[in-house]
Amino acid sequence: MEKKRYKEIVNQHTPKENLFLNAVIAFLIGGIMGVLGQALIDFYSYYLTIPNKEATVCMIVTLIFLSCLLTSLGFFDKFVNFCKCGLIIPITGFAHATMSAALEYRKEGFVTGLGASMLKLSGAVIIFGVVSAWTFSFLRMLLGVE
């Protein structure tokens, strides 16, 4: 049988993912995450009188801490599985990926396991984050945008 014909049979019996539903869930959860982030910034700047710029950093640190804690306690993977990109795209996804790898490789030692492998999933985010930041800053300089 030709490979093409076999692929047709496979496609016939492969269930379709519900893209629309997934997008709606991600949109709603992502929105809620945005509101939560803003609420944290407001809390830090109004009640703890932290300057707005530092309050943003505090918000990010809080979210990272919460997702790492919930990952370690063992139920954040179920949230992520349900909310999908609603939790993966924000900083919570990065923290979750790093923390889950750290938990997994801790048994292989601090240096050879934890240190070497905790960025296994999230390392690509850092590399391409830096590369794209550099590229766009360079473009901005060339175009003379202030």
Summarize as ranges the residues that interact with another protein (CB under 8 A): 1, 3, 6-7, 9-10, 12-15, 17, 22, 71-72, 74, 76-81, 84, 88, 96-97, 99-101, 103-105, 107, 120-121
Distance CA 32, CA 47 (A): 22
Q: Which lies closer to another protein via its Cβ, residue 60 or residue 121?
A: 121
Q: Which lies closer to another protein via its Cβ, residue 54 or residue 108?
A: 108
**Residue 76 Cβ vs another protein, minimum distance, rounded to whole Å:** 7
Chain centre distance of CA 124: 12
Q: Give me 62's structure tokens.
A: 């809080």
**Residue 42 Cβ vs another protein, minimum distance, rounded to whole Å:** 29
Q: How many residues does the chain have?
A: 146
Chain centre distance of CA 110: 24
Distance CA 76, CA 72 (A): 8
Q: Which lies closer to another protein via its Cβ, residue 41 or residue 99?
A: 99
Q: Which lies closer to another protein via its Cβ, residue 40 or residue 80?
A: 80
**Residue 129 Cβ vs another protein, minimum distance, rounded to whole Å:** 18
Q: Are 94 and 71 in contact (CB under 8 A)?
A: no
